[in-house]
Structure 1
């Protein structure tokens, strides 16, 4: 098992950006330009490394390799994005790696790319890149190539050495469990479970028991302020300061079901969003499967037009610096969730509003901004499912 925190450190310490490794301050696949550049780098790294893994480290300053972190990125559907835009798409994963010095909610993103052995290219036009384009790494740059196109392996040995240096050991695992329970979440209810004598999963949160009849499964415990880590690999599997999560585990699998709180006015309820199950095998491997459960609430279009227009007026006032009334401040608290409902009911501009005004909202109120990020995350999951 590879300790992903050690892997990130090895990549940063011993390598400049090259044909198997790139680093970014952040990525933004919510906008066309950011999505196009991300796909270009994935394509180039896959073509330049047909026999080994390639990596993109996110949350690092380019000039001095300083680890500054990025927002937790919960997007289990990133493979679907790559499949939609690339021919011969590589296998890709995005993992959130916690570092002790980073603020709460900040992690380092690790994108791992594995070629399928065939030439990867853009399937269709996106931003300023044309469908059919092929990219390769030229030093630290991802460049288009139109002649002498041939994939060849040049990095297998050096990548294997880097991954070998990042192998886990029992000391790191024990330290990780103790740090998670005693330091990171000493104010929360914390648990750990060992699977197949090899893997350790830790989770913490605020527990709430909900009484139910026996015929509906009996009492259930839900967690908010949830943090879940696969300690062996130093990977944060889930993090949320808002939503509620149901957690179940048996001898070989760990499962979490996330719920989102949605509704208009006082009529709100929890809707199941997604179930993620990690199945651990006796041979030291594991797989992660996710199932989207979300069925968005539907509302009368006339009512939603009123909500949508009210939100637009609020954003316009924020942009112009006009003070908000007491009632408008209360509406601002619910703005990201109501825009989310509008987007799920066919208002295509609602997501663009959240994207376009995210920095203005961040300056106005950090808690509203956190809610905005949650709304965009739900929309990503639904879009790429």
Structure 2
């Protein structure tokens, strides 16, 4: 069983970027350019590593390998994105790896790519890359290739050695459980469950009971053996259920207008642990977004746009503007879910403005964009 934090350390310590590993300060698949570059690297790494895993490490400074982290990235639909844009798409997983020195909510992103053994190519045009383009790694660079396209096994031995050095042990697992329960989440209700005598899942949050169900907020869930953060949110609420073979969460989002808020089930995640030391994670979007009168939404949409214009021009907000601003992330999201496609563009614009002026609303906006991503790629 591979400890993903050790894997990241081994990649950073022993290898500069090369044909089986790339590193990024951040990625931005919400914009066309960022999405295109990400797909290019995935394509190149898959073609250059037909027999072994390849990796992208995210949240690392390029010059000195300093681990600075990125926000928790909850995108279980990233495989759908790859499938939509690539022919012969590889299997891909994005995992959030906690590091002790990073602040709460910050992680290192680890993208693991597994080729299907066939030549991977862009399926359609995106940004400045044309459909049909094939990319390979040349050293640390992802380059297009038009001639002599052949998949060669050049890295399987090196990658196998790195993965072997990242194998977990009982001491690391116990230290991870104790750190999770007693140090990082000593102010929250926390628990753990051992599956198949091998896997340890820890979770923590503020618990509240509603009828016969327990809901957790400020939720953190980790698969300790592999040092993978499965879920993190300071806003949404989650239910947890498990038996001897499976661990299941349902995420709820709070949406509504004019203080008439309601929790809606968003996504169900099910982890099934097998007797042979493997596990499978399946995510299912179960979201049925609320519907509202178009006339009401047009008014809200225009009000939000007016607030953004004031922020752009540094015009002081009135008390009612500040109240509307606090609801802006959720109301823009509701507008998008009701057919206002421009709301996403406005949310991206708001993210830049709010990062400088209002951290609390900026954080809420990032959560709304996370939900939007889930819905978009489902």
TM-score tier after normalising by the smaller chain length? over 0.9
Q: Secondary structure at the match of 2:308?
A: helix
Mapping 1:82-101, distance limit 5 Å: 82-101=82-101
Aligned residue number for residue 71 of structure 2: 71
Please report how far the alpha carbon of residue 372 of structure 1 lies from its aligned counterpart in structure 2 after TM superposition: 0.5
Aligned residue number for residue 164 of structure 2: 164
Aligned residue number for residue 298 of structure 2: 305
Please report how far the alpha carbon of residue 365 of structure 1 lies from its aligned counterpart in structure 2 after TM superposition: 1.1
Aligned residue number for residue 215 of structure 1: none
Note if 1:22 corresponds to 2:15: no
Please report how far the alpha carbon of residue 356 of structure 1 lies from its aligned counterpart in structure 2 after TM superposition: 2.1
Runs of 4+ in 1 over 2 A off after TM superposition: none
Note if 1:325 corresponds to 2:318: yes
TM-score, structure 2 length as denominator?
Answer: 1.00
Aligned residue number for residue 276 of structure 2: 283
Q: Which moved more, 1:5-14 or 1:360-369?
A: 360-369
Note if 1:55 corresponds to 2:48: no
Note if 1:243 corresponds to 2:230: no
Note if 1:337 corresponds to 2:330: yes
- Partner Cα distance (2:204, 2:166) in 1: 26
Aligned residue number for residue 379 of structure 1: 372
- Partner Cα distance (2:67, 2:359) in 1: 22
- Partner Cα distance (2:48, 2:36) in 1: 18
- Partner Cα distance (1:282, 1:340) in 2: 42
- Partner Cα distance (2:159, 2:259) in 1: 55
Match of residue 316, structure 1, among 298, 304, 309: 309
- Partner Cα distance (1:25, 1:309) in 2: 35
- Partner Cα distance (2:19, 2:193) in 1: 39
Note if 1:268 corresponds to 2:261: yes
Unaligned runs of 5+ in 1: 212-218
Note if 1:295 corresponds to 2:284: no
Q: Secondary structure at the match of 2:129?
A: coil
Please report how far the alpha carbon of residue 364 of structure 1 lies from its aligned counterpart in structure 2 after TM superposition: 1.4
Match of residue 233, structure 1, among 226, 241, 244: 226
Please report how far the alpha carbon of residue 347 of structure 1 lies from its aligned counterpart in structure 2 after TM superposition: 0.5
Unaligned runs of 5+ in 2: none
Aligned residue number for residue 202 of structure 1: 202
- Partner Cα distance (1:123, 1:352) in 2: 25
Deviations 1:40-81 (A, max 9, x none): 000000000000000000000000000000000000000000
Aligned residue number for residue 176 of structure 2: 176
Q: Secondary structure at the match of 1:92?
A: strand
Aligned residue number for residue 352 of structure 2: 359
Q: Secondary structure at the match of 1:357?
A: helix
Q: Secondary structure at the match of 2:96?
A: strand
Please report how far the alpha carbon of residue 355 of structure 1 lies from its aligned counterpart in structure 2 after TM superposition: 1.1
- Partner Cα distance (2:51, 2:349) in 1: 40
- Partner Cα distance (1:355, 1:143) in 2: 30
Aligned residue number for residue 151 of structure 1: 151
- Partner Cα distance (2:251, 2:354) in 1: 25
* CA RMSD after TM alignment: 0.5
Please report how far the alpha carbon of residue 182 of structure 1 lies from its aligned counterpart in structure 2 after TM superposition: 0.7
Deviations 1:186-223 (A, max 9, x none): 10000000000000000000000001xxxxxxx11000
TM-score, structure 1 length as denominator?
Answer: 0.98
Aligned residue number for residue 216 of structure 1: none
Please report how far the alpha carbon of residue 363 of structure 1 lies from its aligned counterpart in structure 2 after TM superposition: 1.2
- Partner Cα distance (2:263, 2:52) in 1: 43
- Partner Cα distance (1:107, 1:5) in 2: 10
Please report how far the alpha carbon of residue 268 of structure 1 lies from its aligned counterpart in structure 2 after TM superposition: 1.1
Please report how far the alpha carbon of residue 357 of structure 1 lies from its aligned counterpart in structure 2 after TM superposition: 2.5
Q: How many equivalent residue pairs?
A: 378
Please report how far the alpha carbon of residue 327 of structure 1 lies from its aligned counterpart in structure 2 after TM superposition: 1.0
